[in-house]
Structures are given as structure tokens and as C-alpha cells.
Structure 1
């Protein structure tokens, strides 16, 4: 090979190396977020069951920008989603991400936690969240590995909160205060909401579902009992855990309330009539089937949980 050809080849190799380094330094592409109110950004998760195809990106997650700092609300269903969410924040502001707020324990909301921990955020959640994660971490990783594959799940380190909320707490992002409220057992036993006082935006986590059928992993009685207090939150809009990125408040709560009341009434009637659980699980709540996506995936499970709770009233 001539000297000139050798130099050309060497230059090509150097250019490829430089391109690879540049691509590496750019990091992940930012996740898509919509600004639903001034300084309030929400990513729309797929209304679907977690899978390799959607990468666990099925929950609505968001962030709020204050004068001094940023708070992230939930971190997504994988390390990759967490990194893409952090990149989205950096595309908006260079202010420090001071807080990551976990709304509850489910993997689609917390599997990106380690990304924000590494970025310096303090993770905060419900007082019962540490125990819930400790009890379920191994199961969550195995079940999510079965659903999404090892490549997405094996990098996850289930990361608990650094601080917890026993009842209510206010955090200040600089000219912007967020009220964090810990709820009794409802969707789970560790549900936490975030209320932005400045824009009257409520991040409800999975205490509010729209489009996606509600999922009971706590108590149907507790959920129904707390709906009046949840409705009383002085919000103008809500960011549900699943469904559209925002909706008017409190009107957005009506479909979920109707579903839970219908399911409870059907299960109570089945119990009174001596209908066995196996049959009630297939019939209770069926009048709501056309109103919800993923009804076939979750309604029988909800009916089973409701039956197990309500038969001991």
C-alpha cells in the first residue's frame, strides 16, 4: 500500500473513532415530554402491558422546574427510560434535579430510580414504600424479566427512597412548592400524590387511571373510602398514572369511581348470592368492559382481589 493510501485509510479510521466518541458523549435521545402547564412536563406512557416492544414505558412520568431546582415524578420502567428522561430534563434546564418523587412501588414507575440517584437526586416516597420494595424487589425483577427480557431488566438495581413522607410534606424548588401527600391503602399501600401549588397540577400516580382500567393491588374499600378526600384536592388538572398526560379535575375521577363502585357492588352481590370466587371473577364488573383498555388483562384479577377482601365484611 502506498503512503498516500495508508494516510487516507488512517484518516478514515480516526474519523470513525471520533464519530463514535461523539455519539457516545451525546448520550441517549431525550424522552418526549409535553408541557401541560408552565414548568410542568409530562411523558405519555403507552397504555399497554409491559413488554420488550415498549421497553416498560407504560406509565406517565413527569418533572417540575422551579427557580432553583427540578423535581422528577417517577422514573419510568427501565434504566434506559430513566436515562432518556434525564436527558429530556437537560434539554429544558441545567438546574439540579434535587428530588425524585416515587408515587408508589410498581416497576413501571420506579425501575429508573438508580439513574436519578446517580445524578444526585434525593429519592422520596411514602412511609411504606421501603418495606414494600424490600418485600417485592426479587419478584419484580423476575416477573419483569419474563415480560421484558433480561437486557432491559438485569441492569436495574431496585432503589428505595432516601426519605419518606408519613403524612404530608412540602418541598420548595424555588418560587415553587410541591405538596406531597401519603394516602392510606388504595391502589397499593404506598400511594403518594404530588400537588404543584403554583399551577394547581396534581400528579396522582396510580390513584387515578384514565383509558387504562384501574388496577387493585391494595384495597378496593380503601380506594373508594378515600375518593372524596382525593376529589377535594384543589387542582385544576390531573396527571394520571396511566392515560392522557393531563385531564380536567375533578371530572377526571368520575370514570374510575364508577368502575370501582360497580365492581364492588357486583362482587358484594355475588358473595350474598353464594356465587363462588371463580365464577364471580369472570362476571363482576363486566358492564364496564367497553369503557376501558386492557379490561381483559386486569378485570378478573381486580374482581378476585375485591372478592377476597369483601367476603370478610
Structure 2
């Protein structure tokens, strides 16, 4: 792997400052990253030496799953731990921290958000404290700010009392290009991507094992969700195929430790079909509603949660492509 210079800097968080989030964390006894004895550790699997992954459910967020619908992980180095995605609620974040503590007493020095979606970043409150730096793409604070009310209202409706303590905690260290983190004899290489799944996608590569945390740039089994740029995502897939040193991938959703680069094939087929069929609908003068009713329907039996997301994906693609 190339030697990456650290390109990231602590910046002022957005309009939703960390002060309120940290106050809430203090009230809950979370500051400093201490898991309560009552927190049941998330079940994790060691997919490579020192790398543990929790596989999220292919569901929408509920009180039963605590918003635990995304894959989360942590990597143990010689001196510190890095968490990759913190979960869909403060409660799930505490369970993730409890899983870390079951494996090691080393400090959690970094909590890395692969993007701003709630199932990946709303567990940040469980890690907020002076000893843990939350890391994200340079666009991540803006994305959280714009969606904060919607995310928290939706979580409160879905989880009820189980959403208690969940607040917006933004990253302090922002990555604009590449950033190298040292866990103590173990280097992690972070890369910020142009708009694709979102406009704040960040990936993490463990150089020691070739394990690649792709966030939601890679979906398996559960249908991909477009919240950035369809064309940009296809460009990112081409770029991902060129990345060196990857042996296995942890997708944002789906079985962890998937083979590389074959894990990209299904979502690339789906996204390219949306591109081609949406362009054809536009060329034929079809309306948005007509496109939504027809585009990518041949994929319906291939993906979980297809009916929940395909219409929105097509609408997003139509809006992006109509001015080509």
C-alpha cells in the first residue's frame, strides 16, 4: 500500500454542536466510553486476527433491534482500538462498546463513521468523550446537520423509549482525501470518496490483513439505497476495483468477510440497470411515475427490502439523469 499522508483536521462541528450531545452523554454516564454492566454485548465474529464484526439485521429500525440494521466492527491494535460505525442508537452503541470490552481493555481511540446515515452514526453518543476521537468524511457534519431532526424523530417513533439518550454527535477529525491511523503496530488507511452512496462516504482498510470496511459503498443481499449520485456510485465501484491490498470486504449490509472484488458484482448490475433503464425511460418521454413503475423491476426477486427502496432509487436516478 502507498504511504498515505494524514489529510484531515479537527474542525468546528456544524450548527448542532457537540456541547449538547456531550451534555446528554454525561447525563447518561457515557462520557469516557464506559459501557454499563447492564449492556448486553453485541454478538460479534472475529473475521480476521483482531477484527470483529457485528452483522446487522435485514430489517428497518425497531425497538427490538435497537436500530441494529447495519454492520459494525472494531479493530484491536497493539495500543488502541478503532471502531468502524457506531450503530443506530445510543443503546446499540453501548452494546458495541460492551463487545469491545469483552475482547480488550485497550482504549477506543477512534470511532470512525463511514457515512452519516442513522443506522451507522447514531451510536456516536456511546463513544463521546475526551479519549475517543470521532472521525468522518469532511462532508459528514453537513449531512448530519441537514437530517438531524428527521433522523431523531424517526428513531423516536421507531424505537420509543429505547431511543433514549440518542443524540447527534459529529466527528471532530474530518477526512478530505486520505488519512492513516496507527493503532500500535497496525495501520488503518482511510479514504474519502466523491459523492456515491452519499456525499460523505469513507472507507477503512486494515493493512495487516487486507480487510476492507466499505460502509454502504457495498451492499449484499439488501437492496442498495441511493442517497448521493447514481453515476458517482458506479464511478466509485470502478475505483474500488482498482484499490490495492484488499483481501476481503465488510459491506455496510450483508454477510461480513465477503470475497473481493466479487462482492461488487450484484450491486453494480443493479445500479447499472437503473442507469440504463432510467435513461431509456427519459428518452421515451416517460414521466417520473411511469419510470418508477417500470425501472429495474426485473431485480425484484434478487434483493431483500426491494419494495421499500427501489421506487426511491428510481426517483433519485430520474432527477439526476433528466438534465444530462
Mark yes or no: TM-score above 0.5. yes
Q: What does residue 194 of structure 1 align with?
A: 204
Structure number with bigger Rg? 1
2:133 equivalent to 1:122 = yes
Q: How many residues align?
A: 289
Q: 1:266 aligned to 277, 286, 290, which one? A: 277
RMSD, aligned CA: 1.3
Q: What does residue 227 of structure 1 align with?
A: 237
1:94 deviates by 0.6
- Contact between 2:66 and 2:163, CA under 8 Å: does it hold in 1? no
Post-superposition CA distance 1:2-44 (Å, at most 9, x none): xxxxxxxxxxxxxxxxxxxxxx963311110000001111001
- Contact between 1:180 and 1:195, CA under 8 Å: does it hold in 2? yes
- Contact between 1:80 and 1:112, CA under 8 Å: does it hold in 2? yes
1:294 deviates by 0.3
Unaligned 5+ residue runs, structure 2? 1-34
Change (3 A) 1:131 1:249: same
Query: For the residues of structure 2 that align with 1:248 and 1:226, how far apart are their CA atoms?
Result: 18
Q: What does residue 257 of structure 2 align with?
A: 246
Q: Secondary structure at the match of 1:55?
A: coil
Post-superposition CA distance 1:60-106 (Å, at most 9, x none): 00000000100000100111111111111111011110000000001
State the TM-score, normalizing by the size of structure 1: 0.90
Q: What does residue 175 of structure 2 align with?
A: 165
1:114 deviates by 1.1
- Contact between 2:270 and 2:299, CA under 8 Å: does it hold in 1? yes
- Contact between 1:97 and 1:119, CA under 8 Å: does it hold in 2? no
Query: For the residues of structure 2 that align with 1:100 and 1:47, how far apart are their CA atoms?
Result: 23
Q: Secondary structure at the match of 2:128?
A: helix
Query: For the residues of structure 1 that align with 2:311 and 2:228, how far apart are their CA atoms?
Result: 15
Q: What does residue 105 of structure 2 align with?
A: 94
- Contact between 2:152 and 2:167, CA under 8 Å: does it hold in 1? no
Query: For the residues of structure 1 that align with 2:306 and 2:133, how far apart are their CA atoms?
Result: 36
Q: 1:300 aligned to 311, 316, 324, which one? A: 311
Q: What does residue 146 of structure 2 align with?
A: 135
Q: Where does structure 1 differ by over 6 angstroms across 4 or more consecutive aligned residues?
A: none
Q: 1:237 aligned to 245, 248, 256, which one? A: 248
- Contact between 1:171 and 1:177, CA under 8 Å: does it hold in 2? yes
Query: For the residues of structure 2 that align with 1:154 and 1:138, how far apart are their CA atoms?
Result: 15
State the TM-score, normalizing by the size of structure 2: 0.87
Query: For the residues of structure 1 that align with 2:250 and 2:194, how far apart are their CA atoms?
Result: 20
1:119 deviates by 7.2
Greater RCO (Cα-Cα under 8 Å, separation 6 or more): 2
Q: Secondary structure at the match of 2:151?
A: helix
More deviation, 27-36/193-202: 27-36
